[in-house]
Amino acid sequence: MSKGSTFQDRDKSWLSFNERVMLEATKTYTPTIEKLRFLAIYSSNLDEFYRVRMAAFQRAVADAKGKPKDVEEIKLLLRESQEIINRQQNHFGRIYRDIVLPELEEKGISLWKGEKLSSKQKFYLNRYFQTKVRGLIHFQKEKVFLENRQLYLAVLVKDDAGTLSMIYINIPNDSPRFISYPAASKQAFIYLDDLIRIHLDILLPHYEVHDAYSIKMNRDAELYLEEEYRGDIKKKILKSLSKRSGGAPTRLLIDERTPMNVRTLVGKSLDINIQSFTDGARYHNYFDFFGFPNAGDKELEYPKQEEVKISKIEEAKSMLDLIENEDQLLHFPYHPYDYVLRLFNEAATDNTVTEIRATMYRMSSSSAIAKALINAAKNGKKVVVFIELKARFDEQNNIDWSEKMRAAGVKIIYSIPDIKVHAKVALIARKREVSESKIAFYGTGNFNEKTAAIYTDHALLTSDSELNEELHRLLLHLENGKTDPKPNELLIARFNMVAKFNQLIDREIDFARLGKKAEITIKLNNLQDKQMIRKLYEAAANGVIVKLVVRGICCLNPEMSENISVYRVVGRFLEHGRIFRFENDGNREIFLGSADWMKRNLHHRIEVIFPLKDESLKLEIEEFLSIQLSAHRGTAVLDGELRNHFPFDEDSKVTAQEAFYNLLASKASASNVKLV
């Protein structure tokens, strides 16, 4: 055992992950506009951290009355988190100024930095401002309220009487943030913020404008439903959603060059202590870099990656028939998500299908799956859909789709009090000549074709009667609250998942004690549950090799044992799949599913982990895990101080994601399946 904390702090660990995202913008192999997008991801993630975690800290301080020790511990964590963020923000600024902007300049792309504009450029920008922007602007001087995540200019003005005051002008979020204008360079852009700045004299003709400073407010995103769960949860959520944008302030981000007299005026008008201001750069909302335009230089972005086709699915006249005869394993976004859409569309129109059941957590705003379920109900099939309304930031979208499906005859079941249903499953019942068959979808990611294009996930399509009967009982349980799922092969949170994982780990410990090969490989988004971490420590202490691929939060300290290693894969896509591999003395067992090892997932949600039984599919996941743990550029190794190390940066010409894509593509080529 080495020195160090037994458990890493979850929030500092998450900040370490976000830093890893930011560092992708420093890599020479990352195309320039993709670097901007990694900065955008970092910025968007940090905004959510303030809306959710920092807000939780602040509420905890307010609620810890009479517990001074708790208050001091929380305040310390707040300070330490803010120090980490400040350090990261400084690094962010250096990456933007010293790496990204020079690269853009080299490619003939410039961002206006205050240089003198020609009369032609002034005319062009004025015309744009007058016709595209001016009508979107509103002003606040009295009773100022800054909306969550919206940008504003705090403008210092002097009236005819010589009195200084602040006027707040919104930077419209329904206008492009980067505006092209004629220049000698290949592409020239000006921030919308600066376009408004240079026209302040037009907007405020009755004032003497001194200067303008960017500000942004983050607000608490919690819905506070706990005391109101009973009753009409949809009504409660709709009521709370209308209040979310007005949540308590968690951060006021302000231009670091803002002088003290302006800070005082801002604090007074917003009723916020100026000591709580967070200094930032001249520009905020860097997540707008997601929309940074590219005039067509393909080298500035990732090359197009054609989806890998699966010959058996491509050639099958019926996916339902194919799955009844053979399990299929899909890997997104490498394989087409169209296969999932095809499955639901086929089920909606196949005359042997009598019933479709599914759980929905985050649905696409234009969900083709929801449309297929609506069509299935119209075709006379029984369709039952469980929709989780408590999916943070997707509540309204889920409500909208639930109402559309209900109107079409789909039976909708809403959230269960006190728990979330996070499982990604569907079950299709077919009436055959002799008996009924069931076909199931088991996934690690949501039924969402948009996120499937950017999240790496896995899905099993199977007709396994034992698995699917257990799933059927779970879906009945969600419908009636009474049926016992009686899971045996499936691992279902709140029923048998924790006990089963403990058994699997204990078995590896027993093999290690007998001197046999014992190994556990786990891939997760987040690892926080102390009970499971202790179990991994116990396994490592007894000689079990523990290999972890953890994208985000990792409260386990890898320096607690030389038998533990933690990897972090960040790349073109967001790693999202959860995989569990147990050596089992050579008779390896592999499970996939929806559950991270966090307390909320293991004890306060309905999650489904499913086994792979087909040996060829097991081998495919083994190959995937081997690639994730191999020496590929961009793969980081996490240490006991939550630092990201890159020992493999120069050892490979491809990332782990590219390597797996190449593997799938070579298999498809061997099967004589064209990629296009």
The catalytic residues are 422
CA distance 403 to 398: 9
**Enclosing H/E stretch for 521:** strand 519-524
Between helices 368-378 and 338-349, what is the axis angle to 10°? 10
Which tokens is 300 given?
A: 């500035």
Taking a C-beta distance cutoff of 8 angstroms, is the pair 537, 553 a contact? no
**Cα–Cα distance between 379 and 408 in angstroms, integer?**
10
Coil, helix or strand for 232?
A: coil
The 3-state secondary structure of 116-177 reads CCCHHHHHHHHHHHHHHHHHHCCEECCCCCCCECCEEEEEEEECCCCCEEEEEEECCCCCCC
Largest Cα–Cα distance in the chain? 92
Return d(Cα 658, Cα 656) in angstroms, integer.
5
Structure tokens at 316: 């099958």
DSSP states of 323-387 as a string?
Answer: HHHS-EEEEETTS-THHHHHHHHHHHH-TTEEEEEEEESS--TT-HHHHHHHHHHHTT-EEEEEE
Q: Is residue 333 reached through a cis peptide bond, with omega within 30 degrees of 0 on the bond before it?
A: yes
Placement of tokens 């060059």 in the chain: 257
Cβ contacts of 436 within 8 Å, gap of 6 or more? 354, 429, 430
Q: What's the distance, CA 438 to chain centroid?
A: 32
Taking alpha carbons only, the member of 426, 522, 504 closest to residue 471 is 426
Q: What's the CA dihedral at 403, 408, 413, 415 to 10 degrees?
A: -20
Cβ atoms within 10 Å, residue 256: 14
CB neighbour list of residue 204: distance below 8 Å, 6 or more residues apart:
155, 157, 167
3-class secondary structure, 40: helix
* C-beta neighbour count of 325 within 10 angstroms: 9
